[in-house]
């Protein structure tokens, strides 16, 4: 048997095998079709053969990057999860995948990469923490500008900026898309019967990050959670096909009170830091004033019987002098 | 269109009935308009005819810049301007004309999904063939796009548009595809549409919906537009039920005036 | 004889804008009487040599024209006068920061007993000067960066580059100016620019990218300018509420035009003149050198000023213009005329007069406007002799009309159309002069003859600008 193909993909977190949508699609399809792949979970896109992730290096040393290309390649190698689909179901697959790409991807890009709070608090921090030095300084920023440009090209507006109106529009489209998927799924386990197909892989890849990642601005997650059949669908796939990652999340859960507390801790820490920096600034200003002579402390040696001069008067006199100077 | 503007337009739209002097604007038909724009314009015209709403087609060289979203076609109804099929469908719905009322939820989900399929695969393929294939771009697209303008403005605008479309293709992942792969995608898309249509007269049995208008617009234009190679039209022709579908819609809705 | 170091005869430098008392308001000071003046006046002298010290990159052949007159002087006072004139000419070139004149007796073997050496000590401007400003206005803030290279190749050529980076728009311009050596009024300049502007009165945004070449020369008493300009104009609507007529104007067009301008200016100052007149005629023919738009455009500007008693000035001005489309395309909104505002017919909002559609002003193809002003010093003359002289009160009467003509009819019909629906206004206000370039006005206006569709600015109106009716 030929050596298995190598798949390079992003690392996972939050209970997911990978944080990137495209990687999740490929991983899910590979699991559904039973394709043996040698997984290389990395955090450095420069180490992948094509410069981006996901990337599949076949044993003919060819490199494929697009999820659709990878799935076609696996199908040719007889790892076909769509074997049982009728022609009409195949057509529906294609249609719903297009729906995902047109309506859901812009909202995904916006919520992870363009929305300011989400990007700074979660996305950038995750990539900066997981990338090695010195990539963690500039690569997340570069990824962000590429994603913003992609969103601009998808919407056809060169001057697109993050904003409430844009957010509402994108989220409305995404909500409608999720509703339509939910209606199509109904009460079934998978979209076409009892065994998963490529459409299930695509839907899982797009919805799982929304479901699992805790974002400060979580409107998409709220809407997804309100659609029970879709949330169950994602959790089901995770349980059945990615049990190890689910377990990793659970152990992460136990540790998570600590990070939560750490979150809380960071608030008093922040206070302390603010207080210290204010104190430092005040000390710096005071020493500068003393050293340049703007404010001087006069030691007046008094006779024991004389009344000491009123320090307030001295101070105001000096201030008056300062005013003239 | 922004949400607030959409809500406002819907409110205003509901107030007045469809006027007699509604106009649809598109680029110049003989010299300027390109395949993708013509397909979108024909789709909107078909939709309005299916709804029984009269509209007059006016050709302007600067139609693309007149449009509020930059996309062709757009309609000028009363004192409102609405562009692209999606918003136009919503606009007519606010005025009380709709074709997809009788569909249930699952069918409506399928209709929307198939419409996205046409946008995602057919329209993108049309743009690819027009602007990313060097032969077609040099022989047809650039000369046509620059025809209303004098030298050197026409050339600058044509190259600018080409560069813009190529960037978009790279962004959606079609940049690395070869022409053969694009034709394959077109075949796949046509196969999916053909499967869904089956032997029915329209996609949702007896009644025409906006999906029918959209598919007709794109397929009819592909079949009747001359390009450098006939490959694209051939791929569509290999599905006979799609051919008869186009002919049927042309006869039913366009024959009285000729198209 | 000792050295006569002739310092500059005027108290202030001659170039650059400043807020202050203007040189042309002061009579040239008399040359101080020296005890030996009569002797010097009658003594014949010959200028043997003229030196120019301190040249770096400036080529000498350029300067020989400017100083040629000095050789023709025949007595000392004449030498001093001609040297002063030569100094003015050298400064006018714009390549020297400072010019000082030293007149001395001739030294050396071939020195004549009455020979003089005149030396011009010059300091050249630096090779590259830069400026950086920030500007705020019209809901937009911008940073303006300017670079100037005076005297690039040594013959008073000037290269300037200006870049403006704003919150909304970015503009830049590069310009090259070359005068003819010896005849500074004959010059050639080439500009390349990109300018963006937003015009809320028409809900339109315009971006112009263009290149122009200009030739200027004096002819008898007039200044003539011939210019070719090629501009790529991009128009777009501003905001979603633009009217459909404005939407129809959106798009790209290319204008290639030849224009000619003639200016006769005998005023003593361009801002608040006291005497003299101005006649400016400008015509532009587009379409015969390429491009999409074809038209013939004429406009003129006349101004006459007369000083009256008690330091007051009466000023009358008349503007007019005509745009004639050639061929069957209609005119473009970027070529039409606009009227109204604090710089033309006061009492009306900026460019808010004439043909309009849904509140967006489309401009007109023909217009005329006239103004009659009486400028007086401030009542009770506060701050006389200093700051108060920058202010003037003025009483004004403005009138005008802007419309489109039906070119098929005869001139009688045209005149009738221009004469009906005249808008006019009157009022009074205070004018502040800013250097020699601009003026600020605060007026109380009463607009009359208002037509439906015009937007008025009743009461107080503030205006700042360079060119006022």
The pLDDT value recorded for residue C38 is 55
The pLDDT value recorded for residue C286 is 94
Range(s) of the domain holding residue A189: 87-251
Query: Chains touching chain C at 3 or more Cβ pairs under 8 angstroms?
Result: B
Q: Is there a contact between B227 and B155 (Cβ–Cβ < 8 Å)?
A: no
Residues B15 and B134 in one domain: no
Range(s) of the domain holding residue B131: 105-258
Residues A175 and A55 in one domain: no
Residues B243 and B125 in one domain: yes
What's the pLDDT tens digit per position in A219-233? 889 999 999 999 999
Residues B66 and B111 in one domain: no
What's the pLDDT tens digit per position in B37-47? 999 999 999 99
In angstroms, the CA B87 to CA B83 distance is 7
Average of per-residue pLDDT values in chain B: 88
Residues B247 and B151 in one domain: yes
Mean pLDDT to the nearest integer, C201-227: 93
Residues A209 and A236 in one domain: yes
pTM to 2 decimal places = 0.81
Q: Is there a contact between C335 and C325 (Cβ–Cβ < 8 Å)?
A: no
Instruction: Classify residue B81: in a domain, yes or no.
Output: yes
pLDDT at A318 over 60: no
Mean pLDDT to the nearest integer, A119-134: 87
Query: Nearest by CB to B113, which of A99, A165, A186?
Result: A99
In angstroms, the CA A252 to CA A235 distance is 17
Residues B89 and B110 in one domain: no
Are residues B60 and C291, on separate chains, in Cβ contact within 8 Å? no
Q: Is there a contact between A143 and A113 (Cβ–Cβ < 8 Å)?
A: yes
C240: chain B residues, CB-CB within 8 Å: 5, 68
Least confident span in A89-98, C41-50, C186-195, C348-357:
C41-50
Domain final residue pick, B72, B94, B116: B94
**B61 interfacial to chain C (CB closer than 8 Å):** yes
Residues A14 and A114 in one domain: no
Instruction: Classify residue B99: in a domain, yes or no.
Output: no
Residue bearing the bigger pLDDT, B13 or A133: A133
Mean pLDDT to the nearest integer, C199-205: 90
DSSP letter (8 states) at residue C4:
B
Q: Which of A76-85, A127-136, C331-340 has the highest mean pLDDT?
A: C331-340
By C-alpha distance, the chain A residue nearest B115 is A95
Domain count, chain A: 3
pLDDT at A37 over 80: yes
What's the pLDDT tens digit per position in C116-135? 888 888 888 888 889 998 88
pLDDT at A261 over 70: no
Q: Residue A150 belongs to a domain with what CATH number?
A: 1.20.1050.10
Give the sheet arrangement for strand C96-105, strand by strand.
Answer: C46-53, C115-124, C96-105
Residues A33 and A95 in one domain: no
Model confidence band, residue A76 (pLDDT cutoffs 50, 70, 90): confident
Mean pLDDT to the nearest integer, B212-238: 91
Model confidence band, residue C41 (pLDDT cutoffs 50, 70, 90): low
The pLDDT value recorded for residue A129 is 86
Q: What is the nearest CA distance from C326 to chain B, expressed in angstroms?
A: 16
Domain count, chain B: 2
In angstroms, the CA B137 to CA B148 distance is 17
Query: Nearest by CB to A184, which of B2, B3, B109?
Result: B109
Residues B113 and B192 in one domain: yes
Instruction: Classify residue B177: in a domain, yes or no.
Output: yes
Q: Residue A51 belongs to a domain with what CATH number?
A: 3.40.30.10
By C-alpha distance, the chain C residue nearest B67 is C247
Query: Nearest by CB to B117, which of A88, A95, A186?
Result: A95
**B207 interfacial to chain A (CB closer than 8 Å):** no
Question: Which of 161-190 (B) contact A at CB < 8 A?
Answer: 167-168, 171-173, 176, 188-189
Q: Is there a contact between C244 and C275 (Cβ–Cβ < 8 Å)?
A: no
Model confidence band, residue A191 (pLDDT cutoffs 50, 70, 90): confident
The pLDDT value recorded for residue A226 is 92
Domain final residue pick, B94, B125, B145: B94
The pLDDT value recorded for residue A246 is 66
* Residue closest to C352 by CA, chosen among C253, C447, C465: C447
**A6 interfacial to chain B (CB closer than 8 Å):** no
Model confidence band, residue A135 (pLDDT cutoffs 50, 70, 90): confident
The pLDDT value recorded for residue A192 is 87
Are residues C252 and B149, on separate chains, in Cβ contact within 8 Å? yes
Report percent pLDDT > 90 for chain A: 18
Instruction: Classify residue B100: in a domain, yes or no.
Output: no
What's the pLDDT tens digit per position in A283-311? 999 999 888 887 777 665 554 444 444 44
pLDDT at A313 over 60: no
C333: chain B residues, CB-CB within 8 Å: none
**B65 interfacial to chain C (CB closer than 8 Å):** yes
The pLDDT value recorded for residue C125 is 86
Residues B90 and B112 in one domain: no
Average of per-residue pLDDT values in chain C: 84
The three-state DSSP-derived secondary structure of chain B is: CCHHHHHHHHHHHHHCCCCCCCEEEECCCCCCCCHHHHHHHHHHHHHHHHHCCCCEEEECCCHHHHCCCCCCCEEEECCEEEECHHHHHHHHHHCCCCCCCCCCHHHHHHHHHHHHHHHHHHHHHHHHHHHHCHHHHHHHHHHHHHCCCCCCHHHHHHHHHHHHHHHHHHHCCCCCCCHHHHHHHHHHHHHHHHHHHCCCCECEECECCHHHHHHHHHHHHHHHCCCCCCHHHHHHHCCHHHHHHHHHHHHHHHCCCCC
Model confidence band, residue C436 (pLDDT cutoffs 50, 70, 90): confident
By C-alpha distance, the chain A residue nearest B196 is A88
**B4 interfacial to chain C (CB closer than 8 Å):** no
Mean pLDDT to the nearest integer, C370-380: 89
Q: What is the ipTM of this complex?
A: 0.86
The pLDDT value recorded for residue C217 is 93
**B79 interfacial to chain A (CB closer than 8 Å):** no
In this complex, how many residue pairs, one in chain A and one in chain B, have their CB atoms less than 8 Å apart? Answer: 83
What's the pLDDT tens digit per position in A154-172? 888 787 888 888 889 899 9
pLDDT at B128 over 90: yes
What's the pLDDT tens digit per position in B49-106? 999 999 999 999 999 999 988 898 999 998 889 999 999 999 998 888 888 888 888 8
Mean pLDDT to the nearest integer, B101-119: 88
Instruction: Classify residue B164: in a domain, yes or no.
Output: yes
pLDDT at A252 over 70: no
Residues A175 and A142 in one domain: yes
Residues B62 and B127 in one domain: no
Residue bearing the bigger pLDDT, B13 or A41: A41
Least confident span in B142-146, C51-55, C108-112:
C108-112
pLDDT at C31 over 60: no
Mean pLDDT to the nearest integer, A72-79: 87
The pLDDT value recorded for residue B66 is 92
pLDDT at C2 over 50: no
pLDDT at C1 over 50: no
The pLDDT value recorded for residue C7 is 40
C287: chain B residues, CB-CB within 8 Å: none
Q: B with A: 3 or more CB pairs under 8 Å? A: yes
Residues B122 and B180 in one domain: yes
Residues B73 and B169 in one domain: no
**C232 interfacial to chain B (CB closer than 8 Å):** yes
**C370 interfacial to chain B (CB closer than 8 Å):** no
B76: chain C residues, CB-CB within 8 Å: 244
Q: What is the nearest CA distance from B219 to chain C, expressed in angstroms?
A: 30
Mean pLDDT to the nearest integer, C336-362: 91
């Amino acid at each position: 048997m030929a050596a298995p193909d190598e798949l390079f993909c992003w690392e996972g977190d939050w209970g997911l095998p990978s944080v990137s949508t495209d990687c999740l699609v490929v991983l899910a399809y590979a699991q559904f079709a039973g394709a043996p792949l040698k997984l290389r979970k990395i955090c450095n896109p420069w180490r992948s053969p094509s410069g981006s992730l996901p990337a599949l290096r076949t044993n003919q040393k060819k490199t494929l990057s697009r999820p659709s290309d990878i799935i076609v390649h696996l199908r040719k190698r007889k790892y076909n999860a769509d074997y049982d689909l009728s022609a009409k179901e195949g057509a529906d697959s294609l249609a719903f995948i297009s729906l995902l790409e047109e309506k859901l991807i812009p909202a995904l890009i916006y919520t992870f990469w363009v929305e300011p709070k989400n990007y700074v608090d979660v996305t950038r921090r995750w990539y900066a923490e997981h990338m090695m030095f010195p990539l963690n300084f500039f690569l997340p920023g570069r990824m962000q500008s590429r994603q913003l440009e992609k969103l601009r090209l998808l919407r056809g507006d060169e001057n697109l900026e993050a904003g409430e109106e844009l957010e509402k529009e994108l989220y409305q489209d995404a909500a409608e898309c999720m509703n339509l998927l939910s209606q199509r799924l109904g009460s079934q386990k998978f979209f076409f019967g009892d065994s998963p197909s490529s459409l299930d892989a695509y839907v899982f890849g797009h919805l799982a990050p929304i479901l699992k990642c805790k974002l400060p601005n979580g409107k998409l997650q709220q809407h997804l959670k309100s659609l029970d059949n879709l949330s169950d669908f994602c959790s089901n796939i995770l349980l059945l096909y990615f049990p190890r990652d689910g377990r990793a999340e659970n152990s992460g859960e136990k540790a998570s009170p600590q990070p939560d507390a750490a979150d809380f801790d960071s608030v008093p820490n922040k206070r302390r830091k603010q207080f210290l920096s204010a104190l430092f600034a005040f000390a710096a200003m005071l020493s500068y004033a003393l050293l340049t002579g703007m404010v001087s402390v006069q030691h007046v040696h008094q006779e024991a019987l004389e009344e000491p001069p009123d320090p307030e008067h001295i101070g105001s006199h000096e201030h008056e002098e300062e005013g003239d100077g | 269109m922004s949400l607030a503007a959409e809500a406002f337009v819907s409110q205003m739209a509901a107030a007045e009935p469809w006027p007699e002097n509604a106009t649809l604007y598109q680029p110049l038909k003989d010299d300027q308009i390109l395949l993708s724009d013509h397909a979108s314009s024909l789709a909107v015209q078909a939709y309005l005819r299916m709804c029984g709403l009269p509209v007059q087609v006016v050709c302007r060289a600067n139609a693309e810049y007149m449009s509020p979203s930059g996309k062709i076609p757009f309609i000028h109804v009363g004192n409102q301007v609405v562009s692209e099929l999606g918003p136009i469908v919503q606009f007519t719905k606010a005025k009380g004309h709709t074709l997809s009322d009788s569909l249930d939820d699952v069918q409506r989900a399928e209709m929307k999904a198939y419409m996205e399929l046409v946008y995602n695969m057919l329209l993108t393929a049309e743009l690819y063939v027009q602007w990313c294939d060097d032969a077609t771009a040099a022989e047809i697209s650039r000369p046509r796009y620059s025809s209303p303008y004098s030298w050197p403005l026409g050339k600058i605008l044509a190259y600018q548009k080409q560069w813009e479309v190529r960037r978009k293709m790279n962004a959606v992942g079609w940049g690395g595809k070869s022409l053969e792969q694009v034709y394959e995608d077109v075949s796949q898309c046509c196969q999916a549409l053909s499967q869904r249509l089956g032997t029915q007269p329209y996609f949702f049995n007896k009644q025409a919906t906006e999906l029918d208008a959209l598919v007709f617009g794109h397929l009819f234009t592909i079949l009747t537009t001359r390009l450098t190679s006939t490959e694209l039209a051939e791929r569509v022709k290999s599905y006979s039920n799609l051919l008869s579908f186009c002919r049927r819609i042309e006869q039913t809705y366009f024959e009285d005036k000729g198209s | 004889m000792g050295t006569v170091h002739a310092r500059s005869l005027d108290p202030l430098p001659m170039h650059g804008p400043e807020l202050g008392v203007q040189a042309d308001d002061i009579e040239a000071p008399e040359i101080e009487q020296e005890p030996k003046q009569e002797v010097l006046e009658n003594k014949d002298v010959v200028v043997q040599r003229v030196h120019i010290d301190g040249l770096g990159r400036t080529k000498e052949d350029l300067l020989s024209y400017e100083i040629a007159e000095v050789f023709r002087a025949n007595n000392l006072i004449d030498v001093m006068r001609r040297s002063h004139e030569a100094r003015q000419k050298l400064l006018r070139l714009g390549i020297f920061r400072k010019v000082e004149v030293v007149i001395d007796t001739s030294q050396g073997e071939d020195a004549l007993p009455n020979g003089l050496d005149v030396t011009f000590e010059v300091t050249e401007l630096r090779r590259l000067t830069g400026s950086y400003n920030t500007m705020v206005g019209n809901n937009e803030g911008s940073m303006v960066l300017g670079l100037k290279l005076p005297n690039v190749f040594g013959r008073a050529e000037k290269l300037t580059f200006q870049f403006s980076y704003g919150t909304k728009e970015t503009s830049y311009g590069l310009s090259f100016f070359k005068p003819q050596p010896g005849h500074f009024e004959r010059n050639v300049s080439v500009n390349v620019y990109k300018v963006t502007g937003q015009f809320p009165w028409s809900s339109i945004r315009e971006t112009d990218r263009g290149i122009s070449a200009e030739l200027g020369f004096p002819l008898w008493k007039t200044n003539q300018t011939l210019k070719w300009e090629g501009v790529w104009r991009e128009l777009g609507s501003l905001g979603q509420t633009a009217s459909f007529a404005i939407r129809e104007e959106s798009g790209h067009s290319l204008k290639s035009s030849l224009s000619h301008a003639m200016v006769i200016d005998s005023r003593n100052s361009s801002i608040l003149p006291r005497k003299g007149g101005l006649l400016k005629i400008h015509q532009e023919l587009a379409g015969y050198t390429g491009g999409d738009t074809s038209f013939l455009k004429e406009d003129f500007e006349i101004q006459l000023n007369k000083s009256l008693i008690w330091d007051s000035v009466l000023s009358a001005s008349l503007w007019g213009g005509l745009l004639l489309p050639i061929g069957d395309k209609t005119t473009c909104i970027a070529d039409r005329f606009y009227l109204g505002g604090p710089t033309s017919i006061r009492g009306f909002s900026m460019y808010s007069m004439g043909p309009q559609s849904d509140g967006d002003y489309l401009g007109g193809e023909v217009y005329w406007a006239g103004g009659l002003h009486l400028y007086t010093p401030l009542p009770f003359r506060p701050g006389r002799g200093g700051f108060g002289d920058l202010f003037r009160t003025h009483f004004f009467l403005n009138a005008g009309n802007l419309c489109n003509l039906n070119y098929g009819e005869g001139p009688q019909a045209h005149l009738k159309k221009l004469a009906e629906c005249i808008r006019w206004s009157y009022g009074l206000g205070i004018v502040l002069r800013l250097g020699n370039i601009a003026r600020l006005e605060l007026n109380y206006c009463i607009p009359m003859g208002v037509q439906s569709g015009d937007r008025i600015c009743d009461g107080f109106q503030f205006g700042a600008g360079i060119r006022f009716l």
